[in-house]
Amino acid sequence: MSPFHLTRILPEDATEAALRADVLEGLTRNPKTLPPKWFYDTRGSELFEEITRLPEYYPSRAEREILLARAHAIAESSGARTMVELGSGSSEKTRYLLDALRGLHTYVPVDVSTSALRQAAQTLAAERPELEIHALIADFTSQLTMPHTPGPRLMVFLGGTVGNLLPSERSTFLTSIRALMTPGDALLLGTDLVKEEKTLVQAYDDAAGVTAAFNKNVLNVLNRELGADFDPSAFDHVAAWDAQNQWIEMRLRARTAQAVKIPALDLLVDFTAGEELRTEVSAKFQEEGVREELSAAGMELTQWWTDEAGRFALSLSRVS
């Protein structure tokens, strides 16, 4: 088995504190919001895996298509000896890159989930005894401290997750990633692309109702973790395309007027009938926009790959 290190950067109580802060801030503002990271408890993660297999949800298949076709080109261009994956989860899609990166010395998966990190790292360590693995329990949207590893490094952020960040948050995030990079390093970024509204909405509002269950599950998280008394059946799942901002919004719409108690925060939250709680923004991109955002963060987009249908893109950028 390869060397395997698990390092906690995120304090033990950081997740609970962040949830409390996000709920207090988001449910006392107008309009009400919650960050999408709270979808992903065990049940939420299971539902999302189911979503990725739905016929309407194209991003995972499109990204996998690009990785299968371009992994060797990515490996050759980056020449990476260390790969750092942000929000690594199960590290499933990363395997295409690990197979292609013949000179890779170290893999650094970064995730907030200790259990997901440990399981993925142990599996990879058994499969790839030549690979050194430094797993980091950390929030990639906060300031990261990287272990000392050989360069050049390939920073990897897949899944189009960058689209869940608002523009100001993306700017801060990309600038923080640039700060971790040195000349010779590269960033591989997955971005979902702008397309016709019907395709986009269906991807977030499937006929089987899996995405609706995924969206409502965040209320179960608040009930369990904060003692709230949300009734998920009292809310409808909404997916809407915002053409001006070029993003999909997922929302929960209150069917009736209701008051929700959140004892852990000593908070009473009123909803009017029809009021919506925004639970996710998923921005869609065009190549020029991605190029401009990367440039503003101090990186130059050097390569751009899409799937055959032009639905999704992977871009490779370097320190400018």
Report which of residues 90 and 319 the model is more confident about.
Answer: 319
List the chain domain ranges: 1-224+287-320
pLDDT (tens digit per residue) in 211-265:
999 999 999 999 999 999 999 999 999 999 999 999 999 999 999 999 999 999 9
User: What is the C-alpha to C-alpha distance for residues 190 and 314, in angstroms, rounded to an integer?
Assistant: 5
Peptide bond connecting 11 to the previous residue in cis, omega within 30 degrees of 0: no
pLDDT (tens digit per residue) in 70-113:
999 999 999 999 999 998 876 778 889 999 999 999 999 998 87
User: What is the C-alpha to C-alpha distance for residues 184 and 155, in angstroms, rounded to an integer?
Assistant: 11
- pLDDT attached to residue 161: 94
pTM of this structure? 0.94
- What is the dotted CATH code of the domain comprising 1-224+287-320? 3.40.50.150
pLDDT (tens digit per residue) in 168-226:
999 999 999 999 999 999 999 999 999 999 999 999 999 999 999 999 999 999 999 99
- pLDDT attached to residue 257: 98
